[in-house]
Structure 1
Amino acid sequence: MKIWLSKNSEVPVREQLITQITLGIISGDLPVGEKLFSTRELARRFKIHANTVSSAYQKLSEQGLVEFKKGSGFYNCETKQKDSDGETELDALIAAFFQTAQSNGFSKDEIQNRLQKWFTVKPPEQFLVIESDKNLREILIEEISQTTNFRVIGTSFEEFAKKHYNKNAIFTAMINEKPKIESVLPADKICFYIKPRSVSDSITGETRPQQNDLIAVVSGWEKFLSWSKTILIAANIESDSIILRSTAEKDWKKGLKNAFLIICDALVAKEFPNDKRIRTFRLIADASLSELKDFSDNKIVP
């Protein structure tokens, strides 16, 4: 187990030692029964007083994390790791948080004020998708709605810039919108930026159609149509075998019964329940959807 100490930090060296050894024990980095560094060894290595190390070990011993064996030294023991209330683990995590925050230049007052906000602000219960293209916005809303248990609403960038939104929502937008949004984002808020799903992820596992099979691409978002066609052509699908249908057009379903496959977005897929020809190409990367789900499941306050 490695230990790092900073003698110039606001956090006392003794507390740094206690925190790092505690985390090492909890994480399993320091196995049960393993002997800890001797007091003299740590004092000599970091050029600190031996009493500082001894005091840290004494505190860990009081917490039941280490035990002293006469004539041998201190060893990791498992007595406290299994406490039902988990106080030792929680204290270690809190101590590590404070140490990290203070080492990054945040004062105790700043940390306390920010924590107070986290504890008092009402947890968010909805996502706000910021996207000026209405058709794309509706697709993103649908994908997020299918994955999370939050209400999902949307707005244009122009309306967002005017601060016409629910301040208790979690803001989210495609990653390419970041420069614009950061220019108007309130200082006390964050925006979760969605990463797009890769082409390889979209077509992995798909069976290649026969040469004369007709493939339909359906969406209300024009770029979905053009991008999908480009991907299919790149996959050596004949251009003549591809038909494009925009849901903005009247009778857009006409002729789709002859299609071997129907590639569409998540919103259009709802129009074809139980149709085995449907292949939904999602726009949001699985990793981004997973993170959004974590937000909604845990109601994290950004």
Structure 2
Amino acid sequence: MKISINKDSSVPVRDQLVEQVSLQIASGLLTPKEKLPSIRALAARLGIHYSTVTAAYNHLADVGLLDIRQGSGVRVASINNRENEPAAKSSLDSMINDFLARASEAGFAAADVMNAVEKLKERKPVRRILAVDRNEDFHRVLLTELKPHFKIPVEACTVQDIMDKPEQMDDSLILTSLYHLFTFQDKVKDRTRLVPCNIEPASLEMEKIATLRAGSLVLLVSVSETLMNMATKLVAAHRGEEIPVRAVLLSDEKELNYMVNHANLILCDSPSEDTVRKIADPKILQVFKLYPPSTIKLIQERLSKWG
């Protein structure tokens, strides 16, 4: 697990840790059930007090990203309580045989299994894609990136919306990141229509940050306060106070037009791209894409095979 902190930053070290670990989980760099360094080991490696690591780990456990157990250490939470074994390693026949064995051991009959298969055949086709994110200001980012790739409607809702009205999922392919999956995955009746989506780890953006001279100005432009807050913490963890960061909402036209002329590097999200390209030097512009091509392909395949 690659973690960097900057003790001189105005962003608390705990927040720097939380942002980096959660991003590595959400991007798939840290995999389900993967063991993390112990609290004392990580504290010693980073040269910080163990209580800071404890606070970060506990927060990540509270939101469902980590599993902390006495005797087994700290691990990334598992998806659907499955063992972390790639499905590709198993043939369809072996998976079916394992399932049938478990079903029989649980007391179910062959007729029960056949009835379940018939229900699967009778279910209604997917009518829409539903992207779930607890932060409403993130929804525009999700929709901007997803809509061009699909012919069916793409909509967004919060985790609370799903919890309050689970029937929304009946005719939907549900997309969410690991930031939110563990909160509501038990509410999903049909797991074939739930797609945990890896997001970009922002490695390219952080590489550009690393090459900037001290005193360079980084401009963050987004429609989402949440996204800018996350990005600010990541920059702080890598460069601290060496690199000033200015975050500007796309809607703040006056401030945006002023700041693009003073920035050394501009990072913007997809909804902001067209506007920023019209007024900024393309040589210093980097557009952050939330979803990598592999995630879009995964969604398309799931829709094709199970929709």
With normalisation by structure 2, the TM-score equals 0.55
Structure 1 residue 216, shift from structure 2 partner? 0.9
Long gaps (5+) in structure 1:
1-92
- Partner residue, 2:99: 101
SS in 2 for 1:230: helix
Is this contact kept in 1: 2:209–2:235, CA < 8 A? no
The one-letter code matched in structure 2 to 1:156 is T
> Which residue of 137, 141, 145 corresponds with 1:143?
145
Contact 2:210 2:239 in 1 (8 A): no
Aligned equivalents of 2:240 and 2:185: distance in 1? 40
CA 1:260–1:119 in 2, change beyond 3 Å: closer, same or farther?
A: same
2:271 aligns to what?
A: 267
Structure 1: distance between partners of 2:193 and 2:238: 39
Residue number in structure 1 paired with 2:203: 200
Deviation at 1:153, TM superposition (A): 0.2
Over the aligned positions, Cα root-mean-square deviation in angstroms equals 3.4
Deviation at residue 149 of structure 1 after TM alignment = 4.8
Which whole-Å CA distance do the structure 1 matches of 2:173 and 2:207 have between them?
Answer: 32
Q: Which has the larger radius of gyration?
A: 1
Tell me which moved more, 169-178 or 104-113. Answer: 104-113
C-alpha separation in 2, matches of 1:293 and 1:206: 33
Q: 2: distance between equivalents of 1:158 and 1:213? A: 40
Question: Which residue type is aligned with residue 253 of structure 1?
Answer: L
Deviation at 1:286, TM superposition (A): 5.4
Whose relative contact order is higher, 1 or 2, with alpha carbons under 8 Å and at least 6 apart?
2
For residue 122 of structure 1, what is the aligned residue in structure 2?
A: 124
Residue 81 of structure 1 corresponds to none
Question: Which of 263, 288, 293 does residue 281 from structure 1 map onto?
Answer: 288
| Partner-residue secondary structure (3-state), 1:245 | strand
Q: Of residues 156, 161, 167 in structure 2, which corresponds to 1:159?
A: 161
- For 2:155 and 2:224, locate their aligned partners in 1 and report how far apart those are by CA, in whole Å: 18
SS of alignment partner, residue 220 of structure 2: strand
Contact 2:210/2:238 (CA < 8 Å) preserved in 1?
Answer: no
1:232-243 aligned at under 5 Å gives the runs 232-236=235-239, 241-243=244-246
Matched, 1:209 2:215: no
Distance 1:189 1:160, change over 3 A: farther
SS in 1 for 2:246: strand
In the other structure, the counterpart of 1:112 is 114
1:251/1:129 CA distance change after superposition, 3 Å: same
Identity, in percent, stands at 12
Instruction: Return closer, same or farther for 1:252/1:293 CA change in 2, 3 Å cut-off.
Output: farther
* Mapped partners of 2:260, 2:152: distance in 1: 35
Range that drifts further, 269-278 or 126-135: 269-278
Provide the C-alpha distance between the structure 2 equivalents of 1:159 and 1:236, rounded to a whole number of angstroms. 38
- Runs of 4+ in structure 1 over 6 Å off: none
Q: CA deviation at 1:148?
A: 4.5
| Paired residues of 2:178 and 2:198 also in contact (CA < 8 A) | yes
Residues 101-145 of structure 1, C-alpha deviation per residue, up to 9 Å, x if partnerless?
323326433432333334333332421112232111221222333
Match of 1:227 in 2: 230
- Rounded to whole Å, the distance in 2 between the matches of 1:235 and 1:113 is 55
Q: Deviations over 1:19-68 (max 9, x none)?
A: xxxxxxxxxxxxxxxxxxxxxxxxxxxxxxxxxxxxxxxxxxxxxxxxxx
Give, as a single letter, the amino acid of the residue that structure 2 aligns with 1:99: N
